[in-house]
Amino acid sequence: MMSMEQCNHRQRGRALDAPIPALSMAFFVCALVCNTLCAATQPELSPAAVANRDAVSETKGLVAFWDFTHGDEHAWHSFFDSTVETRSYPAYLRRIGDDGLYSSATWPYQTPESQLVFDATGPFGNAVRFNRGHIYGAVERADFDRSLLDLTRKRPFTMIAWVRFVGPRHMVAGIWDEGGWDKYGGRRQFAIFAGLFGRRGVIAHISATGAASFPQSTIEGSQYARSRAIDGAPFEDHEWVALAATYEPESREVRAYLNGVCTPLAVTDPVAQDVYRFSEPQPANPFLFPLPIYHPRAFVLKFNGYSLEKDGVSEHRLQLDLDSGRIAFESEPGERPTNTTYRIRVDLLRAGTSILDTPLEFCTDQTSSGQLPAALEVKQGDYIQATLELLNKTGWQPVGSRVQREILPGAPFTFGRALGLGSEELEHGSELFIDGVAIFNRVLTEDELKRLALVP
């Protein structure tokens, strides 16, 4: 815990051992409305803030809720519903380029971009300013992998974030590593964003591949994730809002909410249009998502080098489960002639050498799935290679290029920052105050989301 003298010293904008540069006018104005740094570890909350905290923490199905008041000298901790979760998840402060995990008591940076600043005007009374890669929050992957906080596969959930944007808009919270925008890289699962796709509202981003959504497209933008619900209502900077997203696997819908309201929207995404050739705008809120959400041990691998216009197929993909060893081939929209046969070859490489006695191979006129050897152990750092071939009158012809993807560890859960932004690691991202983030193991109703909006 920090002493009052330390708190006052930091609040004046000076490090304990060195002066800092003068604050910019924008930062100074922002700091004027912020709470004292003493509130970081043991804030004195108003009755309204306590009531708001209790409203969230007592809601059924709570997996994790960070209000940035509950913690110790090491980390902030999450509230949870003990009937569905058995542990609290520690959240740390991070900075791009620094491997350290910090608490509000140990945060070492005091430049204007990285200084730790709090705002007492939000619903829970102790919002943290996160600023692109200069300062963000994280729950380490090792602390939640394969838990309920691991938002993956086909499992319902709700995420809510109470925020106030004061600068650029990008990611708010979730599990999202862009992988340098490599078409076959990245560790994207699910996250709330704002301000993307030319909109000023809530974006609920979801991924089956962890990488680009449509690698079969070659137009600009196809290197990015494009599967997302977009709420139709915009919101302004400098106002407190509750951004929420839900995923319901039974209906296969992702929904985005602003202050508890899901505003329908239909748009035509240019990359999806290049792939599917829609004749009219497609629903963006709710957004149809039929595939499982990415996990580093179970994910979708999509092929390239074909088109609906030329080949009658909009998507060829593999669903891989490295734990069970099952690999299944699928095509969409499934309008290919019944006599069309594809051959799929899958190999696994370690240090450039195959770890299979022979590559896995199966044809779609015999089966649409294959099985890796039961004794095979696929490790992080291995590469999976896959090729797709079409049988025609002259023999087997390749469809697109050979696809290769590294087996990676899962990404952390981060606040105010997406990872893997390539050369823009420090400058690209969000600047916002986050007063709380909550995840539930079920889809909350709109009435519940309105009740938990907790903003004017």
Q: What is the 3-state secondary structure (H, E, C) of 12-57?
A: CCCCCCCCCCCCCHHHHHHHHCCCCHHHHCCCCCCHHHHHHHHHHH
pLDDT tens digits, one per residue of 393-431: 999 999 999 999 999 999 999 999 999 998 788 888 999
Contact 96, 79 (CB under 8 A): no
Neighbouring CB atoms inside 10 A of 72's CB total 13
pLDDT tens digits, one per residue of 275-327: 999 999 999 999 999 999 999 999 999 999 999 998 889 999 999 999 999 99
Dihedral sign for Cα 441, 447, 451, 452, please. positive
Q: Percent of the chain, pLDDT > 90?
A: 84
Give the pLDDT confidence score for residue 193 in this predicted structure: 98
Mean pLDDT of all residues in the chain? 90
The pLDDT of residue 13 is above 70: no
Give the pLDDT confidence score for residue 42 in this predicted structure: 60
Q: Could you tell me the pLDDT band of residue 128, with boundaries at 50, 70 and 90?
A: very high
Give the pLDDT confidence score for residue 423 in this predicted structure: 78
Measured between alpha carbons, how far is 287 from 227 in angstroms, rounded to an integer? 8
pLDDT tens digits, one per residue of 184-236: 999 999 999 999 999 999 999 999 999 999 999 999 999 999 999 999 999 99
Q: Could you tell me the pLDDT band of residue 17, with boundaries at 50, 70 and 90?
A: very low
Give the pLDDT confidence score for residue 334 in this predicted structure: 59
pLDDT tens digits, one per residue of 354-367: 999 999 999 998 88
Instruction: Tell me the helices (H) and strands (E) count for the chain, helix number first.
Output: 6, 28
Dihedral sign for Cα 441, 445, 447, 450, please. positive
Q: Could you tell me the pLDDT band of residue 340, with boundaries at 50, 70 and 90?
A: confident
For 4-289+410-451, CATH number out of 3.40.50.10490, 1.50.10.10, 3.30.365.10, 2.60.120.200 equals 2.60.120.200
According to DSSP, the β-strands at 287-288 and 136-139 are: unpaired
Q: Indicate the DSSP class of residue 203.
A: E
Measured between alpha carbons, how far is 18 from 24 in angstroms, rounded to an integer? 18
pTM reported for the whole predicted model: 0.90
Q: Which stretch of 118-127, 226-235, 334-343, 347-356 has the lowest confidence by average pLDDT?
A: 334-343
Give the end-to-end CA distance of the chain in Å, rounded to a whole number: 33
CATH tag, 298-406:
2.60.40
Helical ranges in 33-158 per DSSP H: 47-57
The pLDDT of residue 25 is above 90: no
The pLDDT of residue 38 is above 70: no
The pLDDT of residue 346 is above 50: yes
Q: Give me the residue spans of the domains in the chain.
A: 4-289+410-451, 298-406
